[in-house]
Structure 1
Amino acid sequence: MYTHILVPTDGSDITDKAVQTAVKLASTLGAKLSAISVKEPFPYSAISEMQPVPPQEFFDAQERIAAGRVKQVREVALAAGVTADAFTVESVHPWEAIVDQAKELGCDLIVMASHGRRGVSALLLGSETQKVLTHCQIPVLVVK
């Protein structure tokens, strides 16, 4: 059925539920699991050359945070006997990075959390999950 599952993580509680679901599904199907965490790009400002945080310090902090998130996924997967890879990527739009990573890795399923936006903000902004659903050609399992 599915042989390679991608699970994006942002470290939130709802993402933990998606990770647990992805690990159980991978274990049941004998599938490989890949975790991805998307890092924010440096917020350059055209207004001033003064930045509150030096770029390298910002990049290092973003990598530390993202690497910690995917490490947690790998640990959960390995504890369940599931092979797992971990990736961190930088992108302005997390949904694009998720879709691109799934294509690049040859994943045949994405398991991700719904982020429960409601009201006007959901209509105006949409969620990363909604954008993945809209732009992705492979199946996406949304965990609430």
Structure 2
Amino acid sequence: MKFSNILVPFDKSEHAVHALGVARGLAEEDPAIGLHVVDIIYVSEMPPSLGLDANPYESMPPLAVDPDLYCKLVDAALAREKEGMDKAIGSLLDGLPNPVSVQAVNAVSIVDGITDYAHEYGCDLIIMGSRGLGLLRGMLGSVSYGVLRSSEIPVLIAKEPEEK
């Protein structure tokens, strides 16, 4: 099976960088393969990441916030996240002739954000790293496990070699 549109969820961790390297290796086989590198920001994490000093549980309810101001704050947070992604990616994608999209998006959950993005952009493979910290999930983390269970397209878990 040949893949043409690969999604790499990217949280700037070493595991995500490793998964991006695996995706680059596949993309190098054909310059027509599109690569989507996406960081999903979970909506409940938005107030602290927006730089608001107030405790989100003690401040006014979101319905009382000016929608235009909130959109500007969300856009600013996503732009900062994208800058962090570009820094973490560094030169890993330099020289790759493939079409590459690097984005930060928000969603109500990380798993839903990944699967919704894959569906919306017609991705046919998800390559993601795994921390392997979830005891109940066996060797996979909860996000990897969630994506495996809910994705309608193939998911490749790119684990780093043990000697690291």
Residue pair 2:42, 2:107 contacting (<8 A) in 1 also: yes
CA distance in structure 2 between the partners assigned to 1:5 and 1:36 by the alignment: 11
Size of the aligned set, in residue pairs, is 138
What is the DSSP-based 3-state SS (H/G/I as helix, E as strand, rest coil) of the residue aligned with 2:36? strand
List gaps (5 residues or longer) in structure 2: 48-54, 61-68, 160-164
CA 1:99 to 1:74, structure 2 compared with 1: closer, same or farther past 3 Å? farther
2:38 is the alignment partner of 1:28: no
Deviation at 1:16, TM superposition (A): 0.6
Structure 1 residue ranges (4+ consecutive) displaced by more than 6 angstroms after TM superposition: none
Q: Which has the larger radius of gyration?
A: 2
- TM-score norm. by structure 2 comes to 0.70
What is the DSSP-based 3-state SS (H/G/I as helix, E as strand, rest coil) of the residue aligned with 1:116? coil
2:105 is the alignment partner of 1:89: yes
Residue pair 1:37, 1:67 contacting (<8 A) in 2 also: no
Listed one character per residue, the Cα deviations across residues 77-135 of structure 1 (whole Å, up to 9, x for unaligned) are 24233320122211231111110000111111010011211425x47xx6111100000
Deviation at 1:45, TM superposition (A): 3.7
CA distance in structure 2 between the partners assigned to 1:99 and 1:58 by the alignment: 21
CA distance in structure 1 between the partners assigned to 2:95 and 2:124 by the alignment: 23
2:53 is the alignment partner of 1:37: no
CA distance in structure 1 between the partners assigned to 2:73 and 2:116 by the alignment: 27
Deviation at 1:4, TM superposition (A): 0.6
Q: What fraction of aligned residue pairs are identical, expressed as a percent?
A: 29
CA distance in structure 1 between the partners assigned to 2:42 and 2:101 by the alignment: 21
Provide the aligned C-alpha RMSD in A. Answer: 2.9
CA distance in structure 2 between the partners assigned to 1:85 and 1:64 by the alignment: 16
Residue pair 2:8, 2:38 contacting (<8 A) in 1 also: yes
Residue pair 1:67, 1:88 contacting (<8 A) in 2 also: no
Determine the structure 2 residue equivalent to 1:49. Answer: 59
* Counterpart code for 1:28: E
Higher helix share: 1
Residue pair 1:70, 1:87 contacting (<8 A) in 2 also: no
Determine the structure 2 residue equivalent to 1:105. Answer: 121
CA 1:81 to 1:12, structure 2 compared with 1: closer, same or farther past 3 Å? same
* Counterpart code for 2:109: H
